[in-house]
Structure 1
Amino acid sequence: MIWAMDPTDIEIAPLLDAQPSRLLSQVALMVTRSTAQALERLDAHRNHFAVLATLRAFGPQSQAELSRRTGVDRSDIVAAIDQLERDKTVSRAVDPTDRRQNIITLTSVGEARLEELAGVLERAQAAAFAPLSQTEMADLVSMLGRLREHHRRRVGDDAGTS
């Protein structure tokens, strides 16, 4: 946890507030919490949304491929798929070309659930980023995308050093 008390009640050292990595981390934590709470109201998790959105975009695929495409750890993907299968939003079948793996497919129930979750996330994100204009939001998304690509290219280098 970042703050031991209400963050509006504390003064932050200017040198700390000048660190973009710290600000980014704090905002990411706050937005992640607010979107998680919004999804919890529908008995959902961000990994559920990631799986459903990825299946819609790329079609049926293995659990391993879902893990790679979503960036979600394999054990967490299995837990998400287990829940989604119980909810009938995905189906799981043995891959006919490789019986060691399963193929996950989005169902029509899953399509409807994805729309529901996308709406909830859209509203939660609108609230989280309310201080930004549409232009600022587009700029933020562009800058974050560039930073993500920069760090993806640096994998294996000293990407974690400052």
Structure 2
Amino acid sequence: MKGTYGSEWPSEEKIKRREMVAPEARYILICQYADSDIAKCFMKQDSGVECAHVTCRGGRLLGFVHYRFVVEEDVPVLYVYELQLESSVHGKGLGKFLMQLIELIACKSQMGAVMLTVQKSNTDAMAFYNNLGYVISSTSPSQVDPLIGIHRSYEILCKTFESEAKCKLEEGN
């Protein structure tokens, strides 16, 4: 991630490390295996949600998506904190698949939108999300106050699934 954040990385690294281990953090991991040596264990959490815990033995991590369920502008959303893929799998549809999976999880969980933050300098990521139908949110600094937004290194993008979310997160009402 250091390359994506550039000179801001020293301060961002501490924040990212805390976000990644927060109890509300959720992950989808993509691993490549030479064989099918995967041990699975299912358990019930306090919330009654069944989670699969997979032990990766000999697997190679190809990427992950880190997300949380949060509330933005009084709208429940699934917020993507990170989508990271190894460069060897770029352009093969894995990122699109992960985002489609995230959108399915959001819809099944009755979230109004998927939101995420993208570094302006990451033009490939901006184009990727635009191609998937994501737009700059009305909550993004460039939309809240263009004079402040011009000095920010990021944009907040969203894809809404219902009218109230669209009104609050895309149109700013």
Structure showing the higher strand proportion among its residues: 2
Structure showing the higher helix proportion among its residues: 1
Higher relative contact order (CA 8 A, sep 6+): 1
